[in-house]
Amino acid sequence: MPHIVSISSLKGGVGKTSLTLGLASAALYAGQRVLVIDMDPHADSSTGLGLPVTSVDIGSMLTHPEQYSLAEGVCTSAWNSIAAEQAPANVEDDAAGLGSVEAVRGSAASTALEHMEAGEELDRLVALLAGTVDDYDLVLIDCPPTLGRLTSMAWAASDRVISVAEPSLFSVAGTERTLRAIARFEENTDYSVGAASVVINKVRSTPEHSFRIDEMKSMFGELVAEPVLEDFDSFQRIQGAAYPVHFWPETSAQDFAADLSALYRGLID
């Protein structure tokens, strides 16, 4: 069975989608088979993976589960051809072979699921994934930045939830809300999230950021994953080019990619 990991935050703008794409790139670089499910109606992960807009989106699949199987929505990421062109020189684990990234596209259609009756939707993603994801080593779910039906469905299907934070006052509060929400989710449903982690993102060398990092480590203890991720200015440009950061041709990305690989190994591998 693959690891199924939700990437969440109840505060927008902290780099949730960027972390999803960064971990997918790290797994691809390590020779793993990855499936990304874009549950965020903004569908930024889909854009960053270079997915065709003609594929069936996750909102349609979950709104009409009787009409679709998972295989009908899975499409190949543009990243695979990039990785293939650079292999084997840029592949971390020669023994693992060349990895792959496939994905199910997100779209605004998934917002319709937020208006369903409470409890009705929780098992829909679980059912969609059941018995059909064994060909993957890792499933990453990019959640919306809210605690609604879509996020609840993602958590129900996951064995780990990663909460993304940046070192700021409001993000610390948002992380605390996310962890409390996970606890309430487990109390009020039949599902249990196997593990939770906090990833600190967009770190700069300032006294305020150092203070907030220490604050989060004090508040959340061993849940805080290492290493923290520096604020890498070029990452938006890399994502805009629909390129996996580990295969980016400029050397400026190497340190950031190495941190993502270390984070991937510590959290998932």
CATH number reported for the structural domain that contains residue 228 in this entry:
3.40.50.300
The whole-number pLDDT of residue 116 equals 73
Stated pTM of the model: 0.94
Given this model, what pLDDT does residue 269 score?
66
- State the pLDDT at residue 114: 84
Q: pLDDT tens for residues 51-61? A: 988 889 999 99
Q: What is the pLDDT of residue 95?
A: 44
User: For 101-122, what is each residue's pLDDT tens digit?
Assistant: 999 999 998 998 887 766 566 8
Q: What pLDDT score was predicted for residue 196?
A: 94
* pLDDT value of residue 88: 58
CA–CA separation, 255 vs 231, rounded Å?
12
Give the span between the Cα atoms of 91 and 30, in whole angstroms. Answer: 6
Q: What is the mean pLDDT of residues 221-228?
A: 97
Calpha distance 58→71 (Å, rounded): 11
Number of domains in the chain: 1
CB 84, CB 112: distance < 8 Å = no
- Domain range for 47 is 3-267
List Cβ neighbours of 90 (8 Å cut-off, separation of 6 or more): 29, 83, 246, 247
What is the reported pLDDT for 263? Answer: 97
Percent of the chain with pLDDT over 70: 94
For residue range 64-106, what is the model confidence (pLDDT) as tens digits?
A: 989 999 999 999 999 999 998 886 556 555 445 689 999 999 9
What is each CA distance from 66 to 57, 63, 127, 132, 171, in whole angstroms? 15, 9, 11, 15, 39
Distances (CA, A) of 114 to 122, 179, 183: 11, 21, 21
At residue 11, the pLDDT reads 82
Average predicted confidence (pLDDT) for the chain: 91
Residue 257 is predicted with a pLDDT of 97
pLDDT digits (tens, 9 = 90+) for 157-210: 999 999 999 999 999 999 999 999 999 999 999 999 989 999 999 999 999 999
Identify the pLDDT of residue 175. 94
pLDDT of residue 48: 96
